[in-house]
Amino acid sequence: MTTYILVPGAWHGSWTFEEVAPLLERAGHTVHALTLTGLRPDDDRATVAAANLDTHADDVLRLLDQEQIGDATLVGHSYAGMVITAVADRAASRISRLVHLDAYVPRDGESCWWLANDSYRQAFVDGAADTGYAVRAPFRPPNGGDPRRRPHPLASLLQSIRISGAVDRVPRREFVYCSGWEDRTPFAGLRARLAADPRWRVHDLPTGHNAMAEDPKAVAALLLDQ
């Protein structure tokens, strides 16, 4: 039995995995889908303003401790690639597999801002104009995006990650490239780099960025591939 910890990307909560989690559970596995600090409906202004990348890594580390998990598969979507990298570097002995689901794979000193493309950086700037500390979710046609999305803590997108290299001890590391938005993705170069690295397994899905919603069965199948 595998214990999956599913970490959503910017603006999203645990609900983003609502169609994937049951498929994993029906296969007999334990699933924890998180909503990170600052993205919860009852988080106040001070909580959102103070939340950064370290806060989000601590969210996952706290779950590992509370549930006494010692052999986890961490799945991070988009921004959450930053989060699961930080967690795995601090708790490598408790992580057996990392899955970056169309997600950033940072090196020491990099931030989400640094790794994003110009389009995303402009979305961060525009989205933070209202408050200065939280980035409103960008409008996504044709329906404007899921109404459950919430403003994302700006500090978490700007903070540089600090990793020792312990993350490299995680025995299985995978990157899932979503090819259905190649005109806008910031991950094409990352896919090429990881495909050339024998320490990584690279998968392709012909979906847009939010593969969990577009093709949850395909995402679950990848995660169930042991």
Measured CA to CA, the distance from residue 142 to residue 30 in angstroms comes to 35
Residue 19 pLDDT level (bands cut at 50, 70, 90) = very high
- Adjacent-strand bridge partners of 76: 7, 100
CATH number of the domain at 107, please: 3.40.50.1820
Instruction: Give the structural domain span for 123.
Output: 3-224
* Angstrom distance (rounded) from CA 139 to CA 66: 36
The pLDDT value recorded for residue 114 is 97
Residue identified by tokens 């103070």 is 50
To the question of pTM greater than 0.85 for the whole model, the response is yes
Beta carbons of 110 and 53 less than 8 angstroms apart: no
- What does the pLDDT average to over 173-194? 97
SS3 content of the chain, % helix, strand, coil (to 5): 40, 15, 40
In the chain, the number of structural domains is 1
DSSP three-state, residue 25: helix
Q: What are phi and psi of 5, to 5 degrees?
A: -115, 115
Mean pLDDT of 124-141: 91
Which pLDDT score, from 0 to 100, does residue 145 have? 80
Mean residue pLDDT of the chain comes to 96
